[in-house]
């Protein structure tokens, strides 16, 4: 009989504690400022300044639509350099395949 009474009394205590905890709410803990928040805010401000500087820098550049065409002598020289590079690369390919 005493075992049942102890079990019943223990259950009542647990139920009372649960009811008390559910009814009595603690105030929320005060929100402390995150120490990393200020560092992140300063980095964000610096990034915005850099973006503004980049826009200013790019404004000074000539857009491709307004760029002057390449003179024909430079175009011909560029073609010659590319053709010579292709010939040398082809010779290197042929030379490496004959060694195998």
Q: Enumerate the domain spans of the chain.
A: 40-77
Q: What is the pLDDT of residue 100?
A: 52
Task: Kindly report which listed range (17-26, 56-65, 72-81, 82-91) carries the lowest average pLDDT score.
Answer: 56-65
User: Which of 8-12, 35-39, 56-60, 66-70 holds the top average pLDDT?
Assistant: 8-12
Tell me the residue ranges of DSSP E strands in the chain.
none
Put simply, whether the predicted model's pTM sits higher than 0.95 gets the answer no
Q: Which residue reads 């490496």 in tokens?
A: 96
Task: Classify residue 1 by its DSSP letter.
Answer: -
CA distance linking residue 87 with residue 93, whole number of Å? 10
Q: What are phi and psi of 55, to 5 degrees?
A: -60, -40
């Amino acid at each position: 009989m005493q075992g049942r009474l102890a079990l019943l009394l223990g259950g009542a205590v647990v139920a009372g504690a649960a009811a008390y905890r559910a009814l009595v709410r603690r105030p929320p803990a005060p929100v402390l400022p995150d120490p990393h928040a200020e560092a992140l805010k300063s980095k964000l401000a610096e990034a915005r300044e850099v973006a503004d500087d980049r826009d200013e820098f790019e404004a000074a550049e000539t857009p491709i639509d307004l760029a002057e065409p390449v003179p024909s002598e430079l175009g011909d020289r560029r073609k010659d350099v590319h053709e010579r590079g292709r010939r040398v690369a082809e010779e290197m390919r042929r030379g490496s395949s004959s060694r195998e």
